[in-house]
Each structure stands twice: as C-alpha cells, then as structure tokens.
C-alpha cells in the first residue's frame, strides 16, 4: 500500500484509536522480540486487528519506526516543559532536557539500541538521520532552539542558527553511549551528561572570541556535512 494512501486515512476518533493500538502493539513486540524478528502479521495479531487493517494504517515496519520517533519526540518535549518553564540558566536547561531524554527512552531500552545502532547509516529508515525521520528531527531541533532562546546564554550570531543542530548531534552521541550503558538506571550516562553540559556551555561562550571562531566554524562545517537541515 502506498505511503500516500496511508497518510490520507480519515482521522476519526475510531481510526486514531486503532492506529494508536497498532503502534503500541508494535512497540511492545519490538521491545520484547526485537525489530528484525517482529512481523507485521505478529503486530496485527498483538493489536487484535486483521493484518490488512494493520497495513492500512502503517504500510511497513519502517513507518512504525517513524511513529516511535514521533511519539518519543512528543514525550520528551512534555517531560522537559517543567525545567524549561522554571529555569533560565543554560546549563540546567540543557542538563534537564538530556536527563529527560534518557528517562523518556527508558521504556524502550532494548529497541532503542537497535534504532541508534543504525545512526551511522543515514540511508536506513531506522536512522535518526534518515529522510523519513525528518519530522521527528524537526521537533527535536525546535526543542533545542527553545533551550537556547529561553536561556541567558550569549550565543554568537554566526553560531545561533546552527546551535540547535549541534546540540541535537550531541544528544545522539549521548544516546549512543546510553544504549551500551549497563550501569543501574543509566547512572553513567547521567554522570556523563552532568560532566559535559558545562563544557558545552563554556565552548559556546568561548566561540564569541576571535581565536576560537575558526574552530567553531569548522565544527559547523563538519556538522553540516552530516546532513544538517
């Protein structure tokens, strides 16, 4: 079934409920059995719908991956709302957002490892860098833009437009560390966040000075080469 047809589904309450049930069933099976071992037939059976009905809402498992990205982006943004509303300092804002990212991913731990293991392959629809993941990536960039704009941090003009992208790349690196972190409740990852966020803030501040502008511009160039929007 074409992607255009699945996107043109009527968004009635019943349809939205069925779509959510299928997505939740897929997330459970991906988590329990892994992405590769889970079939659309198994997802349909878990959701209690006909296989054809599952394909009506999601043309493939890859589309369900995008549903995972979108849901995670929304859950992450909701989890960050408190710290962003209460705090104007950049370091606590970014630290809180990254802690919330780890916590919002925790229910999908084993599945997240599969997803982030594909990060280097931008052609894979499972990769957070893929074209298919662009809507969820845009939500994440908006969140990191809010982290910056709502803070008192002084950001050089040449860096401001690209800083959300750099912070998102940083968050992807954190998640790659987290999926291999075997410490209880990801404590090593949380300590890594706590140690590196002040360093990131310091580098942003130093980027105002002429001696470091060339280095910062080089970092932006490298980031743009990784598929920046």
Query: Cα(45)–Cα(54) distance, rounded to whole angstroms?
Result: 9
- Amino acid 109: pLDDT: 83
- Total residue length of the chain: 229
Position with higher pLDDT, 105 vs 90: 90
| Two tokens, residue 24 | 């939740």
Q: Is the pLDDT of residue 226 over 70?
A: no
Q: Are 22 and 54 in contact (CB under 8 A)?
A: yes
pLDDT tens digits, residue range 17-44? 999 999 999 999 988 888 888 999 999 9
Identify the CATH class of 3-59. mainly alpha
Q: CATH 1.10.357.10: which residues of the chain?
A: 62-225
Q: CATH 1.10.10.60: which residues of the chain?
A: 3-59
Within 10 Å of residue 85's Cβ, how many Cβ atoms?
8
- Amino acid 90: pLDDT: 97
Query: Cα(52)–Cα(111) distance, rounded to whole angstroms?
Result: 25
Q: Judge: domain 62-225, CATH 1.10.357.10.
A: yes
In sequence order, what DSSP letters do the residues of 217-229 get, joined into one string?
A: HHHHHHHHHTT--
């Amino acid at each position: 079934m074409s992607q255009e047809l699945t996107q043109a589904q009527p968004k009635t309450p019943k349809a939205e409920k069925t779509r959510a049930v299928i997505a939740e069933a897929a997330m459970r099976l991906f988590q329990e059995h892994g992405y590769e071992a889970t079939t659309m037939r198994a997802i349909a059976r878990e959701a209690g719908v006909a296989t054809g009905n599952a394909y009506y809402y999601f043309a493939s498992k890859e589309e369900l991956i995008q549903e995972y990205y979108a849901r995670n982006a929304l859950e992450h943004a909701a989890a960050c709302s408190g710290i962003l509303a209460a705090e104007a300092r950049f370091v606590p804002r970014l630290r809180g957002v990254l802690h919330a990212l780890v916590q919002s991913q925790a229910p999908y731990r084993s599945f997240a490892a599969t997803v982030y293991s594909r990060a280097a392959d931008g052609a894979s629809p499972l990769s957070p860098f893929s074209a298919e993941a662009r809507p969820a990536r845009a939500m994440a960039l908006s969140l990191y833009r809010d982290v910056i704009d709502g803070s008192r941090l002084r950001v050089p003009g040449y860096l401001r437009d690209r800083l959300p992208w750099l912070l998102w790349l940083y968050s992807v690196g954190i998640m790659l560390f987290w999926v291999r972190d075997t410490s209880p409740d990801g404590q090593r990852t949380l300590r890594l966040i706590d140690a590196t966020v002040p360093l990131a803030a310091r580098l942003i501040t130093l980027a105002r000075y002429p001696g470091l502008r060339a280095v910062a511009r080089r970092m932006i160039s490298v980031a743009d080469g990784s598929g920046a929007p």
